[in-house]
Chain A
Amino acid sequence: MDNIAGQRSGLSIATHIATALLVLLWIIPTLGLFITSFRDQDAISQTGWWRALQGAPQPFVLSVPVEDQVEVDGGTWVLETNIFEGETAAGLPPSVVDRGRVAAFGISRLRGADTDPGETLETRQGVAITLAADGALLASSPEPLEGALALPVMLVAPPQMTLENYTEVLTDTDAEERAALLERGTTLDRLLFSDEALFGPFVNTMTVAIPATIIPIVIAAFAAYALAWMEFPGRGFLIAMVVGLLVVPLQLAFVPITIIHEWFGIGKSFLGIWLAHTGFGLPLAVYLLRNYMVGLPRDIIECAKVDGATDFEIFRKIVLPLSFPALASFAIFQFLWTWNDLLVASVFLPSDTESTVMTRFVVTSLLGSRGGEWHILAAAAFVMIAVPLLVFFTMQRYLVRGLLAGSVK
Chain B
Amino acid sequence: MPVIVTGLITILVGVGGMVAYFWVSNYLLDQVIYPARGENIGRNVRRATAIRPWLFVFPAVFALGLYLVVPVFYSGWLSVTSFASENLAARGRFANYAAIFSSGGFRIALLNNFLWVLVVPAASTFFGLMAAQLTDRLSWGNIAKSLVFMPMAISFVGASLIWSFVYHPDPEIGILNALRTAFGAGRGITFIDGDIVDSFWLMVVLIWIQTGFAMVILSAALRGVPEDTIEAAIIDGANPFQIFFKIKVPQIMPTILVVWTTITILVLKVYDIVAAMGNQYRNLEILPTQMMQSFDSGNYGFATAISVVIMVLVLPVMIWNIRQSRAEMR
Contacts and interface: CB of A to CB of B under 8 A. Distances in A.
A116 B29 CA distance: 90
A340 B67 contact: no
B3 A207 contact: yes
A392 B171 CA distance: 33
Interface in A211-242: 211, 214-215, 218-220, 222-223, 225-227, 230-232, 235-236, 238-242
A245 B69 CA distance: 8
B208 A242 contact: no
A137 interface: no
Contact of A257 (B7, B71, B135, B221): B71
Interface string A314-357: 01000000000000000000001001111100110000001100
A239 B329 contact: yes
A207 B4 contact: yes
B15 to A, nearest CB: 5
B192 interface: no
B60 interface: yes
A244 B6 CA distance: 34
B249 to A, nearest CB: 15
A368 B300 CA distance: 26
A36 B165 contact: yes
A255 interface: yes
Contacts of B220: 404, 408
Interface string B171-207: 1110100100000000000000000000000000000
B268 interface: yes
Interface string B20-51: 00110010001000000000000000000010
Contact of A214 (B14, B60, B150, B310): B14
Contact of A15 (B15, B134, B151, B326): B134
A256 B255 contact: no
A245 B151 contact: no
Given A32-B165, A252-B308, A243 B15 contact: no
Contact of B134 (A22, A215, A232): A22
Interface string A392-409: 110010011001100111
A227 B71 contact: no
Interface stretch (B100-108, B114-122, B287-295): B287-295
A102 B181 CA distance: 27
Given A232-B50, A243-B322, A253-B68, 10 more contacts: A26-B148, A206-B7, A218-B18, A222-B60, A223-B60, A245-B68, A251-B269, A251-B291, A312-B22, A384-B158
Contact of A219 (B63, B259, B269, B275): B63
Interface of A: 4, 7-8, 11, 15-16, 18-19, 22-23, 26-30, 32-33, 36, 44-50, 203-204, 206-207, 210-211, 214-215, 218-220, 222-223, 225-227, 230-232, 235-236, 238-257, 259-260, 270-271, 274-276, 278-280, 282-283, 286, 310-312, 315, 336, 339-343, 346-347, 354-355, 359, 362-363, 367, 374, 377-378, 380-381, 384-385, 388-389, 391-393, 396, 399-400, 403-404, 407-409
B115 to A, nearest CB: 18
A27 B147 contact: yes
Interface string B288-329: 100110010000100110111011001001100110011011
Nearest to B76: A252
In terms of DSSP, what is the predominant structure of the interface of chain B?
helix
A247 B63 contact: no
A389 B150 contact: yes
Contact of A252 (B1, B57, B276, B310): B310
Nearest to A385: B158
B275 to A, nearest CB: 6
B232 interface: no
A367 B56 CA distance: 46
A343 B272 contact: yes
Interface residues of B, number: 112
A246 B321 contact: yes
Contacts of B211: 26
A403 B326 contact: no
A362 B10 contact: no
Given A48-B178, A274-B10, A252 B72 contact: yes
A48 B322 contact: no
A192 to B, nearest CB: 11
A58 B210 CA distance: 41
B56 A230 contact: yes
B88 interface: no
A28 to B, nearest CB: 7
Given A30-B162, A312-B23, A384-B158, A408 B295 contact: no
Nearest to A225: B56
B158 A340 contact: yes
B325 A211 contact: no
Contact of B153 (A270, A391, A404): A391
B57 A222 contact: yes
A22 B131 contact: yes
A150 B138 CA distance: 58
A404 B166 CA distance: 32
B162 A252 contact: no
Contacts of A280: 67-68
Given A15-B138, A22-B148, A244-B322, A279 B64 contact: yes
B56 A248 contact: no
A323 to B, nearest CB: 14
Contacts of A207: 3-4, 6-7
A372 B240 CA distance: 49
B163 interface: yes
Nearest to B217: A407
Contacts of A248: 68, 72, 311, 314, 318
A246 B61 CA distance: 14
B255 to A, nearest CB: 6
Contact of A11 (B78, B150, B240): B240
Contact of B57 (A7, A211, A227, A311): A227
Given A218-B19, A392-B150, A253 B269 contact: no
Contacts of A377: 161, 165
A231 B4 CA distance: 41
